[in-house]
Amino acid sequence: MIEARHDRILGMTTEQQNGQPASRPPESRQPIPGQSVGLGSAALFGEIALSFVIAVFVKWLHADLPVFAILFCRYLFCLPLLLAYGWHQRGPQLFRINNIGGMTKRCIAGLLGLTTWFIALGLIDLSLATALGQMMPIFITILAAPMLGEVVGIRRIAAVVAGFAGVMILLGPVEFSSNALGIAFGLAFPFLSALMFIYLRQIGRSDSPVSTSIWHNIAGVFYALVLGLFDGSMPALVSGDIGMNAWFMLIAIGVTASFQQFLMALSHTLAPASVLAPLHYTAIPMGVVIGMVFFGETITASFIIGVMIVVMANYYILMRERAQRNPKKS
């Protein structure tokens, strides 16, 4: 789901991380014989499901803990498995970073993005936060022109406008006026995620995606620790007042984030990106159902219409980008 986009680059090749086709397009990589596409899709669905496990735990913990306490545990308990995987992949080269400036910007955008996501989960419905998170491809399109020098044609501009119109429809005047702060954080998350993705494309030629993911999580531990000293997070964690259920969820958030990233890496190994990309939108109905079951959320007709417009705008942008990369096939 959304939170995984911070580190879903983990299992991609350097060229994939750049948002470019690999030496041949991802679709042309030789898949594992048999049910590889089906297994890749299943791995992606597993990643989305784990994302919602994290989101549900974060929403439950908001009632008892400051956000930086949750973030600190997410990064801390994610690291052991991630380090083991990274060391297996790269050995002593795991911590090597060539583009320090680009990596720093990637970390800042990633840390702020995950922070806004966790805050949004405490302020607005899970279904709404999930829907707003789908704005990331639209923000990438907006940022690609000034930051990467890409030419964005009139049709993709129209898709961007349609995407924002869809957001306004799904929010409605009542929702916006009553949850303005939560909506602001909910929209800040896909914007910062898009910014992080742009930085990943810039550093992808020089640095391993596994190494960038490791450093992002290490930076996250210190980031949450320092800021947690000011918002009461660290005293809350060491006070002894946290029950076993809360500790279970805090540890589970970090460990689950590790497996979530492994499943994302596996999905891109087994199935082409063109197959997987549309499947990400299944997060929206899953978010609606989970929100209804666990938090008693309700949805409106305008929400459904707005979400459909956002999804169609995103899908059109995806198709246009694919056509530009493979003009002979379009």
The answer to whether position 172 is within a domain reads no
**In sequence order, what are the residues at sequence separation of 6 or more whose Cβ sits closer than 8 angstroms to the Cβ of residue 183?**
124, 128, 132, 171, 175, 176
The answer to whether position 116 is within a domain reads yes
Whole-angstrom distance, CA of residue 321 vs CA of residue 286? 27
How many Å is the maximal CA-CA distance in the chain? 63
Domain count, the chain: 1
How does DSSP assign 126-142, residue by residue? HHHHHHHHTTHHHHHHH
The answer to whether position 225 is within a domain reads yes
Question: Closest by alpha carbon to 171, among 304, 59, 79, 73?
Answer: 304
Question: Closest by alpha carbon to 82, among 265, 294, 238?
Answer: 265
Per-residue pLDDT of the chain (330 residues; tens, 9 = 90+): 544 444 443 434 333 333 333 333 333 344 444 447 788 888 889 999 999 999 999 999 998 899 999 999 999 999 999 999 999 988 989 999 999 999 999 999 999 999 999 999 999 999 999 999 988 888 988 888 888 787 778 888 888 888 889 888 888 765 666 788 999 999 999 999 999 988 888 887 788 888 888 999 999 999 999 999 888 888 878 877 788 999 999 999 999 999 998 888 788 788 777 677 778 888 989 999 999 999 999 888 888 999 999 989 888 887 777 777 666 554
Whole-angstrom distance, CA of residue 8 vs CA of residue 57? 20
- What is the reported pTM? 0.84
Rounded to an integer, what is the distance from CA 150 to the centroid of its chain?
23
**In sequence order, what are the residues at sequence separation of 6 or more whose Cβ sits closer than 8 angstroms to the Cβ of residue 219?**
107, 111
Question: Closest by alpha carbon to 4, among 284, 264, 272?
Answer: 264
The answer to whether position 139 is within a domain reads yes
| Domain coverage including residue 214 | 3-14+33-152+180-296
The answer to whether position 328 is within a domain reads no
The answer to whether position 25 is within a domain reads no
